[in-house]
Amino acid sequence: MTAPALPTTGREWHLLSRPVGWPKPEDFALVETEVPAPAEGQVLVRNAYLSVDPYMRGRMSAAKSYVAPFELGKVMQGGAVGEVVASNADGISPGDHVLHFFGWREYAVVDAKNAVKVDPEAAPLSAYLGVLGMTGLTAYAGLLRTASFKEGDSVFVSGAAGAVGSQVGQLAKLKGASRVIGSAGSDEKVRLLLDEYGFDAAFNYKSGPVSEQLRAAAPDGVDVYFDNVGGDHLEAAIGSLNRDGRIAVCGMISVYNNTEPAPGPRNLARLIQTRGRIEGFLVGDHYDLQPRFVQEVGPWVRSGELKYRETVVEGIENNLEAFLGVLRGDNTGKMIVKL
């Protein structure tokens, strides 16, 4: 029986120009390119699911950051999971499924050392891009390590219906939070937080001033704020922070497309009264927690105690629209592109 022919071409997204403000379709191009055979120590992967995430907006700019910007005229990158169709490396065989970082394309040639085998029997493949992947570890590390969460804390999460925020709130509940409050951008998402994810209180930040809604939802203040949004949410959280409160800054999606510097919180002096702490973090600094994270969270996912949602967009031709949807807040849970 002859082996199936390997692909010779595949489609991939290139960055043509650096967006100013909101990214525009003309900043990108979907192109067809040759797919090389894997060299020594490499595998060829047919991507099944691609991840689109807010941090990718930063990589589209040339500004110095914690990670190199995408190169103009070249394929972009992102989390992806797929099936190995050819292998020139020990330990990985055709038919295996791997997680890697060469998304935004149909086929990827990956160094085996940068591919992590995953088990599609243990969890759906797409889960390794979200609840059991980078977004899940982000929630885990930010809440438990950066924010030093402890049983009995009151926790406020912004962007709470997103992939990271929804997991933060549920982890806090599972670990004994006294109260979990979330903000989201629609009444439908608010109901999801309350009815499915078990938040104690939630509000639509578009329905009124965030500071007023947070005070009503957390009359006794908050001990931990997990920030995905920045702006008025960060200012409101500082205003409601209890003594020795902690703020973990994961993202500030409200300012990513600003062309002028965003004004900072006007009430930072309150941190003196509360002895509060604000600390930013990057998930890449916390991969030492990955084994513990999977060991602890995996069973909660399998048992259904920790719930998750995915917004799935079909087709690589819609990869860019899916990314823009994340910036607009169109997604509930993790935004995934299915190829």
Integer Cα distance of 289 and 269 in angstroms: 33
What is the spatial distance between Cα 227 and Cα 275, in angstroms, rounded to a whole number? Answer: 18
Q: Report the distance separating Cα 192 and Cα 287, nearest Å.
A: 30
Going by C-alpha positions, the residue among 212, 208, 234, 231 that lies closest to residue 156 is 234
pLDDT in tens, 136-163: 999 999 999 999 999 999 999 999 998 8
What distance in Å separates the CA atoms of residue 243 and residue 5, rounded to the nearest whole number? 64
Residue 214, token pair as written in the block = 């947070």
Name the pLDDT band for 45 (thresholds 50, 70, 90).
very high
Q: Which residues, in sequence order, are CB contacts of 303 under 8 Å at separation 6+?
A: none
DSSP 229-273: S-HHHHHHHHHHEEEEEEEEE---GGGTT-SSPPPPPTTTTHHHH
pLDDT score recorded for residue 1: 47
Q: Which of 121, 314, 146 is nearest to 227 (CA)?
A: 146
* pLDDT at residue number 3: 58
Q: What is the pLDDT of residue 259?
A: 65
Place of tokens 């085998």: 117
So what's the pLDDT on residue 217? Answer: 98
Contact 81, 118 (CB under 8 A): yes
